[in-house]
Structure 1
Amino acid sequence: MSVGAHAVTSNVIPRWDRELLFEILDNIHDVVLVIDSETTIVYANEAYARILGVPVEKVLGRRLDSIEPESKTITALRTGKVSNNGRYYLDSLKIDVVGSSFPLYHGKKIIGAVSIFKNITEVVQLNRELELTKGVADYLKERLEQWEQIPLSFKEYVGQNSRLKETLILAAKVALTDSTVLILGESGVGKEVLARAVHSSSRRKDMPLIKVNCAAIPENLIESELFGYEEGAFTGAKKGGKLGKFELAHGGTIFLDEIGDMSLTMQAKLLRVLQEKEFERVGGTKTIKVDVRVIAATNRDLKNMIEKETFRRDLYYRLYIVPLYLTPLRERKDDLLVLAKTFLDQFAVVVGHKLTLSPQVVRLLQDYDWPGNIRELQNVLEHASIVCSNGHIEVHHMPAHMLPVHEDSESCIDKPHDVKEILARVEKELILSALATYDNRTQAMKALGISRGAFYDKLRRYGIEE
């Protein structure tokens, strides 16, 4: 027997009543919510409590417009429009849901509204995390592409340190312009190498790169060195005068190293050249125009010097257009063994045989603070390559100033029979030695005879930079 457009009775289900309909609604997996025309919540199924975590009895009889005034259920009630598979946020419960809402009619009059929805907060969160992961992956891919695209001149820098790569990528970008560059970093970090790379990657690469060490030139000579002089400008002046470094660099680049050691008087004259691109030779009156790109470098704290009034603020801002900071070696120990191997390969050609480092030397290099940075590392390894006769560099081949005052033997004396500690120390030294000997980590782990997972686990355990 038919009881409506969408239902019939049968011998098993002889009638449709409220109890049966409620049982059906309560077994629906999604939330079912019904409000009347005044937005009073008149029904919520069992899924409401299970999915939203709120007991049904706490919401029955309450007005939805006081709980969730922007609810799609209220929108369906007031507009008479159906919303299908819409996603929205329940501010009262701080969750994301997706579902449908539709008005409830009695005849032609809207007497309420129904919403059927499910909680998708976890799905939304997973989607956000996926988007974040994708964003990070895209960023890393972009950084890798930038790194792969930098000119070969920057590949003179050995290493994979992330901060170094950031600097080199920026340097490669600024190299394509004529902007003034200021290279900052301690002595020995490779400021001149970077200046050379910027010049070699610029449109001026076929023109001269002229280097001036501002700290090495006496105060009474630096002006004539930079700007040249006319015949008879001073006692001892050459006949016919002399071209200065700025004239020699015309069309190319001038590298002003140790610019923080320049006097205030010379700073003022340099500022004029940077601003006007012109100067007069010492003893001359003719104004000379030049087309020169300026790269400056210093290991001094220029901001501190400005406060002490030993460096001009206006010159600082004229130079500080694109600052490039080179990280000291003690802060990029992850590159130390790669750098060491590069230098050893160079010195091996000179001495005529292969050079390797003992595990104790590797540990010494890792523990040392490197105040002289890469230049000191190069000098130390050159010293060792000369002193060492058989190609295997031991601790006693190293310069005396590097040797520790207290050896690790003290800890061995404290625990002379601690097998685990002794084995761990030997294992760490073997790993460090393999990293220093082989070109890459795959070769190192193969020589050690351990799996990739075990290899990286030991790197983390022993605090060896990954």
Structure 2
Amino acid sequence: MNDKNELKYSVFKNLVDNLYDEVIVWDDDYKIVYVNKASYRHYGLSPEELIGKTFYELTKKEYWYPSVLPDVYKNPRIVSIIQKTHLGAKIKTTAVPIFSAKGKLEYVAMNVKDVVSEVPSTVKDTVELKNKDFITMSKEMTVLLSLTEKIAKIDSTVLIQGESGTGKTFLAKYLHKKSKRSKKPFISINCASINGNLLESELFGYVKGAFTGAVGSGKKGFIQIADGGILFLDEIGEMPLELQAKFLHVIQDREFIPVGGTKPIKIDIKIVAATNRNLKEMVNIGKFRRDLYYRLNIFELLIPPLRKRERDITPLANYFLNKNNEKYGRNCYLDEKTLKIMLGYSWPGNIRELSHIIERLVVTSEKTKIMPNILPGEFFTLQDEEENIFENTDINLDEIMSEYEEKIIKKYYELYPSSRKLSKELKISQSKASRLIKKYIEPKKTRES
């Protein structure tokens, strides 16, 4: 082959690196020697994080199942298999044994394709995986889950705290699953969604004739229904003060009296509560009982917000991407620039917001590759600075405008590093884009050099 028709190695590698289908190569020590960027979509891991890892390290963490590699090494032949990743992606893997000139098995090369349903399937709203309870790669969540498993083994009350959308209910279910009460009921009640008077009868139940409109034979409350299992009280900070006193008695004595009743009923339950409110502050201003707070807070589980665990954003985004691809019969994936913007976003709505954003992107994207231009506007606001912009009384309007302009140009230039690309994305002329680059970008480059 003459030089004109030869493909340079660097060009060839760049092509394979960016193929939509995953390409992965194992050596004869069961170690990954190459994988392309599709690994982000399937496992939430970069090629750099995977290359050098052994088959045993990865299967121990259940990144995919079932496995095909040992079978190919034991009985060398081409094998195709349907697998599922820990992010919920359904994939078809074709493993091909590669032999040396002497007939020795040296490598196994795999081509991994996404499997998309012909007809969109119904997908549950809750995050449920076959072999993986939590999608996480962050140290913070790993530590939290380890602590949760220890606390699950004892019957003391637990208080789960975290911002809205961080997964407090999901963590409570995980605690139930890991506890000795896992075969018994998990009863969940949201204290904010039920009127105060009705909340009492829902929790404690009532006897026959307890009040006008009561069911003739009476009704069991959630406390009694949860007997033997776990009672989960979400948004405990919304429980009325007068009801807090009655619930304190349940925690202390493990018994209760139904509404309208006179005889106490003994129960065996573990109580788990959750809130996104600052209960300590509510105690100080008289909105929450101090004694109840300390009874609930024997063990505290604090879920960090998504912005504090950046390593979880990529695997979670790809999990929701796989889930919605299946739901809507799409085959979308995130452009690297889109993912970069998402990694820099503050996620005030946490995992719930991420889930909704990914669903919106899958539905609205006209192309398979999800580009930055269809991200919602809030991804391009200067969230950290705008809260304090008016605190400086010495700054004038021109300075404010110039400050925002500089930040916008720097942020977009990272993603679109040329005047042509920048002008297209910001819908300005190329000459104006060039002037702004000279004003805000080139002086920085000069200083750094």
How would you bin the TM-score normalised by the shorter chain? Answer: 0.5 to 0.7
The 2-side partners of 1:155 and 1:327 are apart by 20
- Pair 1:410 & 2:387 matched: no
* 1:297 paired residue among 271, 274, 294: 274
Q: How does 1:429-444 map to 2 (within 5 A)?
A: none
Could you state the TM-score of these two structures normalised by the residue count of structure 1? 0.55
| Structure 2: 5+ residue stretches without partners | 1-56, 63-128, 383-403, 423-449
- Pair 1:205 & 2:204 matched: no
The residue type paired with residue 182 of structure 1 is: L
- 1:379 shift after superposition: 0.8
Give the secondary-structure state (helix, strand or coil) at the position aligned to 1:323: strand
The 2-side partners of 1:171 and 1:277 are apart by 23
Percent sequence identity is 43
Give the secondary-structure state (helix, strand or coil) at the position aligned to 1:166: helix
Equivalent in the alignment of 1:274: 251
- 1:209 shift after superposition: 0.2
Equivalent in the alignment of 1:368: 345
Equivalent in the alignment of 1:237: 214
Equivalent in the alignment of 1:358: 335
- The superposition leaves residues 182-237 of structure 1 with CA deviations (integer Å, 9 ceiling, x where unpaired) of 11110100101100000011111111100010111111111001001122222221
Q: Is the 8 A contact 1:213 1:258 kept in 2?
A: yes
Q: Is the 8 A contact 2:330 2:362 kept in 1?
A: no
Could you state the TM-score of these two structures normalised by the residue count of structure 2? 0.57
Give the secondary-structure state (helix, strand or coil) at the position aligned to 1:223: helix
The 1-side partners of 2:376 and 2:417 are apart by 32
Higher relative contact order (CA 8 A, sep 6+): 2
- Pair 1:179 & 2:156 matched: yes
- 1:153 shift after superposition: 9.4
- 1:413 shift after superposition: 9.8
Give the secondary-structure state (helix, strand or coil) at the position aligned to 2:319: helix
Q: Is the 8 A contact 1:153 1:200 kept in 2?
A: no
The 2-side partners of 1:271 and 1:340 are apart by 41
Q: How does 1:388-403 map to 2 (within 5 A)?
A: 388-403=365-380
Give the secondary-structure state (helix, strand or coil) at the position aligned to 2:207: coil
Equivalent in the alignment of 1:258: 235
* 1:339 paired residue among 316, 319, 327: 316
Give the secondary-structure state (helix, strand or coil) at the position aligned to 1:304: helix
The residue type paired with residue 340 of structure 1 is: A
Equivalent in the alignment of 1:307: 284
- 1:359 shift after superposition: 2.9
- 1:402 shift after superposition: 3.6
| Structure 1: 5+ residue stretches without partners | 1-143, 424-466
Give the secondary-structure state (helix, strand or coil) at the position aligned to 2:160: strand
The 2-side partners of 1:336 and 1:171 are apart by 22
The 2-side partners of 1:323 and 1:252 are apart by 19
The 1-side partners of 2:227 and 2:411 are apart by 64
- 1:392 shift after superposition: 2.0
C-alpha distance 249-191 of structure 1, shift in aligned 2 (>3 A): same
Q: Is the 8 A contact 1:153 1:197 kept in 2?
A: no
C-alpha distance 229-361 of structure 1, shift in aligned 2 (>3 A): same
* 1:225 paired residue among 185, 189, 202: 202
Equivalent in the alignment of 2:19: none
- 1:418 shift after superposition: 7.9
The 1-side partners of 2:180 and 2:412 are apart by 63
Give the secondary-structure state (helix, strand or coil) at the position aligned to 2:256: strand
C-alpha distance 413-334 of structure 1, shift in aligned 2 (>3 A): closer
RMSD value, Cα: 3.2
Pairs aligned (count) = 276
- 1:287 shift after superposition: 1.1
Give the secondary-structure state (helix, strand or coil) at the position aligned to 2:277: coil
Equivalent in the alignment of 1:284: 261
